[in-house]
Structure 1
Amino acid sequence: MLDRQCSKSTCQREAVATLTYVYADSMAVVGPLAPERSPHGFDLCADHADRLSAPQGWRVVRHQTLGTGR
């Protein structure tokens, strides 16, 4: 277990995904939890990862891990 919490300010849940932004392509990318924290990524719990929305004109890309059903 990596024992990391969601990056949302008041959330205490365990992080399961990492969010990164690709500004040049106007994309928010949500993928499996990165093995290590990154200054350019945000760790999210399952609820925040599922509910993530992006500004108008941006795309949300969700990468799934095989065998998880997410």
Structure 2
Amino acid sequence: MEDLIKTLLSKIDSLDSKITNLETNVSSLETKMINEFSSVNKRLDGIDYELKKLNTVTKYKDTYRNIPA
């Protein structure tokens, strides 16, 4: 009976270690994902800014094109 308890305790310790390792990996993945999404958001903001500039130029071009001579 004592050996069975020791075996169970050993397996519980092993599972606890694996769970701790998994939690660490999940935390690391979460940090990486946050950083990557932040980088993607910055790029998208830059693209949005450039599109707004292009739209402004296009609007002015159309305005000047429609001015009667």
TM-score by length of structure 1 reads: 0.17
Name the structure where helix makes up a greater proportion of residues.
Answer: 2
Name the structure where strand makes up a greater proportion of residues.
Answer: 1
User: Highest Rg: 1 or 2?
Assistant: 2
TM-score by length of structure 2 reads: 0.17
